[in-house]
Amino acid sequence: MSYSVKEIFLTLQGEGANSGRPAVFCRFSGCNLWSGREEDRSSAICQFCDTSFVGMDGQNGGRFSGAADLVAKIASIWGDGAEDRFVVLTGGEPMLQADDSLVQELKRNGFTVAIETNGTIPIDVDFDWVCVSPKAGTKLAVTRGNELKLVYPQFNIDPSAYLHLDFQSFYLQPMDSEHIQEAIKAVVNYCLENPKWRLSFQMHKAIGID
């Protein structure tokens, strides 16, 4: 299988339970909830996405001929150190492309493998860390994992509807828009009133890194 990748880069994880951890981000092209083109945003299922995932023209992006080819690129970006290797498969929607061959090759190269998914596509791959970010108007096919990270507020979404799911931790993340201050206030208040939820803040944006 070949893989279409928008970009691959070394950074610090900026959100959720792994905030601050060095990671290689592998961002796959394509999503099942939005084309990624601005002219389609108003009719998309997910209308608030702040990520560019169209094409293969980002940093280290391209079409990779197979798992070994892609993992070699990811390993080269991590560098020589073999300790605490961590890769985050993201998108777009990574489950459109991520498969067992890729994950097993990453593990053979010493990586802990995380995925950030909208949860609408069933996972049949043995990831080390699963983060699901639900979107309004969708049905979750992934109902267990390490963290559920809900961008908030979203129209017609009640966070309490997710608490019966089998996740280790639950995060609310303020929606990044022109109303960000109102969103932060809403998230803080909700977490204070509902202590099972924790605040996730986009640290990478606050400190100016990718």
Q: Tens digit of pLDDT for each residue in 3-55?
A: 999 999 999 999 999 999 999 999 999 999 999 999 999 999 999 998 999 99
Annotated catalytic, 46? Answer: yes
Catalytic residue among 11, 128, 138, 204: 204
The full set of domains in the chain, from first to last, is 3-207 (3.20.20.70)
Catalytic residue among 7, 15, 25, 131: 25
* pLDDT value of position 52: 95
Look at strands 197-199 and 22-28 and give their pairing: unpaired
Residue 126 pLDDT greater than 90, yes or no? yes
Per-residue model confidence as pLDDT tens digits over 43-89: 999 999 989 999 999 999 999 999 999 999 999 999 987 789 999 99
Catalytic residue among 15, 26, 28, 46: 46
Residue 141 pLDDT greater than 90, yes or no? yes
What is the distance of C-alpha 199 from the center of its chain? 16
What is the distance of C-alpha 39 from the center of its chain? 23
* pLDDT value of position 81: 76
Which residue in 50, 60, 54, 49 sits closest to 7, CA to CA? 60
Residue-wise DSSP of 21-41 = -EEEEEEES--SS--S-GGGG
Residue-wise DSSP of 62-124 = EEESSHHHHHHHHHHHH-S--TT-EEEEESS-GGGT--HHHHHHHHHTT-EEEEEE-S-S---
Check residue 20 and give left, alpha or beta (phi > 0: left; psi -120 to 50: alpha).
left
* pLDDT value of position 80: 87
- Scan for tokens 């880069």, then name that residue: 9
- What is residue 162's DSSP assignment? G
Which residue in 161, 155, 184, 180 sits closest to 172, CA to CA? 184
* pLDDT value of position 82: 72
Question: What single letter denotes the amino acid at residue 131?
Answer: C
Per-residue model confidence as pLDDT tens digits over 82-110: 789 999 999 999 999 999 999 999 999 99
* pLDDT value of position 144: 98
Per-residue model confidence as pLDDT tens digits over 154-209: 999 999 999 999 999 999 999 998 999 999 999 999 999 999 999 999 988 888 98
Catalytic residue among 26, 49, 131, 191: 49
* pLDDT value of position 1: 86
Annotated catalytic, 64? Answer: no
- Scan for tokens 């909700």, then name that residue: 190
Query: Strand order in 112-117's β-sheet?
Result: 62-64, 3-12, 22-28, 86-90, 112-117, 129-132, 144-152, 166-174, 197-199
User: What pTM was estimated for this model as a whole?
Assistant: 0.96
Q: What share of the chain in percent tops pLDDT 90?
A: 92
Cα(86)–Cα(139) distance, integer angstroms = 29
Annotated catalytic, 25? Answer: yes
